[in-house]
Homo-oligomer: A and B are copies of this chain.
């Protein structure tokens, strides 16, 4: 992409309404624009990252055997009256009346609707286990939306639902989700720690929240510092294996890690003192097993092999897709701007031409652009006639992890400069070597999408 043809409205001024760094940087980098309180337009750069994150979530959910589908944003209130949540849900549910006077709502979550789809179509244990999920816009009419996309009203979320014959099977689905979430966050360059949490309005005794440690987090968290040494890494896992998934759950949740909602001073006191940590965390996902709460309420039953009718065991599992952009930036930035992890960067590398209009420099930049594109990478080539300082500042602000700087002086020696956004370190190398190095760096960070 040529910057001269892109829409990247970076701001020089720090917007006064933004209280936290991710909100400030997303506005300044031209990623989002507020359209109403807690409602944002995703400008091209922001949308590109949103879509990458969405695609990583899709890939990891499909890898775990979960089936993508999509439910509408607006639902009739009927099912919510049937489950009892229409009245139980407070003012955060946006209630709508259509032209015929029917009660509708903008879905904040979809346990009722997915259970209705299930009960209408599945009647035998033979069709279980089944896990379906969607990534879809949701709405929560927050009284005081703030922190940009971190606590917006209209937000993009992955919500998945498992249907199983027994509690045992449903707990395997729970564990499978935990594993897939660990992989998902790590691919985005995030450490998200599963912490014992509270069921809230979804319900259920088994629930973990995934928290990214950050000073601006909304939750106070208490943990054994040993949990931050854990990483899923590139181990292979068989999602059908009960033992393997259970093993990962135990590894990642046995050590003390809880939000303030479930914090237990006595248990925390048993952690060796030098490993006790109190911090703040940003919630980026949550998994639940809630048994037959919704299947009982909505009559979602299947016939067992013995001919008996039983309510199915269910769980639901969410990832805050749009919120993740804020969380990643909170966890990865410096004074000059965002530092995207390779897995989610909107462009793989920036190309800065120090002397736009110089025939040799222009040709070298175009050759680099073509070579990177031929390798399936997406460069952002700053081809504007601006001063080098301004170009560097823009690249730093928008946070591409790698920058190639091309100028007449270097080209005389046959080199360009490759700079890491994270470390600030540069090295001079031949253009072909820079391309080869980027291909190698990104070999483990390919997103195929749906």
Residue ranges of A at the interface with B (Cβ–Cβ < 8 Å)? 5-7, 9, 30, 33, 35-36, 39-44, 46-48, 50-51, 55, 65, 67-76, 91-92, 94, 96, 98-99, 102, 104, 106, 113, 116-117, 120-122, 127, 130, 132, 134, 137, 139, 141, 143, 153-154, 448-450
- Taken together as a complex, chains A and B put the C-alpha atoms of A67 and B6 apart, in Å, by 7
Nearest CB of chain B from residue A129's CB, rounded to whole Å = 9
Inter-subunit contact B65/A5 (CB<8 Å): yes
- Taken together as a complex, chains A and B put the C-alpha atoms of A221 and B397 apart, in Å, by 53
Q: Given the interface contacts A7-B130, A44-B132, does A35 sit within 8 Å of B72 by beta carbon?
A: yes
Inter-subunit contact B69/A44 (CB<8 Å): yes
- Taken together as a complex, chains A and B put the C-alpha atoms of A42 and B113 apart, in Å, by 12
Nearest CB of chain B from residue A402's CB, rounded to whole Å = 22
Inter-subunit contact B39/A74 (CB<8 Å): yes
Identical copies of this chain, number:
2
Inter-subunit contact B36/A75 (CB<8 Å): yes
Complex interface: chain B residues within 8 A of A69 (CB): 7, 41-44, 46-47
Nearest CB of chain B from residue A79's CB, rounded to whole Å = 8
Complex interface: chain B residues within 8 A of A104 (CB): 36
Query: Which 7 residue pairs across A and B have the least CB separation, nearest first?
Result: A9-B121, A36-B76, A449-B449, A42-B70, A41-B71, A47-B69, A39-B72
Complex interface: chain B residues within 8 A of A449 (CB): 55, 448-450
Q: Which residue of B lies closest to A65 (CB)?
A: B5
Inter-subunit contact B41/A117 (CB<8 Å): yes
Complex interface: chain B residues within 8 A of A72 (CB): 35-36, 39-41, 137, 154
Inter-subunit contact B94/A96 (CB<8 Å): yes
Complex interface: chain B residues within 8 A of A117 (CB): 33, 41, 43
Inter-subunit contact B139/A74 (CB<8 Å): yes
Complex interface: chain B residues within 8 A of A39 (CB): 72, 74-76
- Taken together as a complex, chains A and B put the C-alpha atoms of A122 and B9 apart, in Å, by 8
Inter-subunit contact B73/A137 (CB<8 Å): yes
Nearest CB of chain B from residue A52's CB, rounded to whole Å = 9
- Taken together as a complex, chains A and B put the C-alpha atoms of A66 and B247 apart, in Å, by 48
Inter-subunit contact A73/B70 (CB<8 Å): no
Between A33, A51, A74, A96, the greatest number of chain B beta carbons within 10 A of the residue's beta carbon is seen for: A74
Inter-subunit contact B68/A154 (CB<8 Å): no
6 residue pairs A–B, Cβ–Cβ below 8 Å:
A7-B121, A7-B132, A42-B69, A44-B132, A55-B450, A96-B96
